[in-house]
């Protein structure tokens, strides 16, 4: 029988500890990093969007070097519940567009009313880009 060396036993446990910490780190990064996980299959690309709400209109800038086609913009969607939507055929690369808030409507026809509803979240879905279907989801800063 080969006698156990205390040093090799400690090294083995240190190796297990390092492996456990690395695995836990990967799990935490994956969990915390997926707040804006797209509903379409994840690709190596996503939309680069700059958004602003002026109080009467949504200002959306395409920060990509490619056009977005067949675009749907959705405000305040919660889970499987639809929010206020607006569709546009194209948002050109590098361009900024202004969409009146009143043009956004729910599936039942209810219009977005900036006087009674605060924008909380925004999703931009481009059904056609050079990289296939892409999406961006984000939240607006809290407004008193």
| 53, 106: one domain | yes
pLDDT, greater one: 40 or 141? 141
88 found inside a domain? yes
Total domains in the chain come to: 2
Domain range spanning residue 78? 49-139
3-state secondary structure of 89: strand
Q: Could you report the per-residue pLDDT of 77-109, keeping only the tens digit for each? A: 987 678 999 999 999 999 999 999 999 999 999
Q: Is 39 part of any domain? A: no
Mean pLDDT of 28-56: 60
Tokens of 98: 């202004």
What's the average model confidence in pLDDT over 16-34? 52
DSSP three-state, residue 84? strand
Mean pLDDT across the chain: 79
Q: What residues contact residue 117 under an 8 Å CB cut-off, 6+ apart?
A: 76
* Same-domain status, 21 and 79: no
Same domain, 1 and 26: yes
Cα Rg of the chain (Å, integer):
23
Name which residue leads in pLDDT, 25 or 62.
62
Do residues 89 and 112 both lie within one domain?
Answer: yes
Strand pairing report for 84-91 and 96-100:
unpaired
137 in Cβ contact with 122 (< 8 Å): yes
- For the domain that residue 96 is a member of, what is the CATH number? 2.60.40
């Amino acid at each position: 029988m080969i006698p156990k060396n205390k040093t090799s036993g400690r090294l083995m446990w240190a190796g297990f500890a390092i492996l456990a910490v690395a695995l836990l780190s990967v799990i935490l990064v994956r969990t915390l990093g997926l707040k804006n996980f797209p509903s379409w299959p994840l690709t190596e690309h996503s939309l680069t969007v700059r958004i602003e709400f002026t109080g009467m209109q949504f200002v959306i800038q395409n920060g990509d070097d490619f056009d977005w086609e067949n675009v749907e913009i959705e405000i305040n969607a919660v889970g499987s519940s639809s929010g206020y939507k607006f569709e546009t055929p194209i948002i050109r690369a590098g361009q900024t567009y202004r969409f009146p808030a009143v043009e956004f409507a729910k599936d039942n026809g209810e219009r977005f009313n900036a006087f009674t509803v605060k924008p909380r979240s925004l999703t931009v879905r481009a059904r056609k880009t050079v990289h296939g279907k892409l999406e961006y989801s984000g939240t607006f800063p809290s407004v008193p």
